[in-house]
Amino acid sequence: MASKDRIQRLKEETRCNIITAALEIGKQEGWQGLSMRKIADKIEYTAPIIYEYFSNKEDLLAELTRKGFFLLSKEMQEAKARHRLPGKQLEAMWMAYWHFAFEHKEFYQLMYGIEMNCCAFKGTPGPDFIMPSDLVAEVIAELMKDKNPTDDDICTWYYTFWSVIHGLVSINIVKQGMSDKLNHKVLTNAITGIIRTISA
């Protein structure tokens, strides 16, 4: 029967509603302020309904995290596509990362905040979207290709990049109102510095 499809679509829709409701609350009140009952209120249901779609809160949060990584991956890929030289690509990718952190603060905090998923993300990365870490690793490898880098070498540099930028993001998310000029200086200093060191 076609009514099955309709119902399936409705279920799909409320599942989506749960996610967007959670996202809104996380955005407005922070992830600490997110509760199952608040989500239920927002989608005009009662709390247990959510467990029909997600096995628990952690599961729901994981889905949001996945969404976040997908978005970040997309923006970093686009940034990469705007350049030819690996050095420029890397710079653009980390700049995209930087912007993502503030444009989608709520996502970033979920992805790298409280329950730091950091780089590894347990769960299917999906068929089409590449993990940001892999994305960067590719370009680093390209940049170092005449040096025959080991996986460890590439890891080292990826971690160096990520450390600086995540550290900077952390400061700015907590202690906002820092001078943009200062931020920009530290950021570009760090990025170009590392790139220079890699290819030196």
Binding site for DNA (CB under 7 A): 1, 3-4, 7, 11, 14, 34-38, 45-49, 51-52, 55-58
In this structure, the number of other CB atoms found within 10 A of the CB of residue 162 comes to: 18
d(CA 127, CA 51): 27
Dist CA 115 CA 82 (whole Å): 33
Is residue 167 at the binding interface for its own copies, with CB under 8 A as the rule?
A: yes
159 binds, among DNA, its own copies, none (CB under 5 to 8 A by kind): its own copies
- Asked if residue 95 binds its own copies (CB under 8 A), the reply is no
Per DSSP, 53 falls in state T
The nearest distance, CB 102 to its own copies, in angstroms, is 15
Q: Cβ 101 to DNA, closest distance in Å?
A: 25
- 131: CB partners within 8 A, 6+ apart: 69, 73, 119, 121, 125
- 99 touching its own copies, by CB under 8 A: no
What is the nearest approach in angstroms of DNA to the Cβ of residue 51? 5
| Contacting its own copies within 119-148 (CB under 8 A) | 119-120
Question: Which of DNA, its own copies, none does residue 146 bind to, with CB < 5 to 8 Å depending on kind?
Answer: none
166 binds its own copies (CB under 8 A): yes
Sign for the pseudo-dihedral over CA of 26, 29, 31, 33? negative
Residue 129: which residues within 8 A CB-CB, separation 6 or more?
69, 70, 73, 74
Q: How far is the CB of 82 from its own copies (least distance, A)?
A: 25
For 32-101, where are the E strands, in sequence order?
none
Q: Is 49 in the site for its own copies (CB under 8 A)?
A: no
Instruction: Using alpha carbons, list the distances in angstroms from residue 6 to 19, 43, 52, 151.
Output: 20, 19, 18, 49
Site residues for its own copies per CB under 8 A: 112, 114, 116-120, 152, 155-156, 159-160, 162-168, 170-171, 173-175, 179, 182, 185-186, 189-190, 193, 197
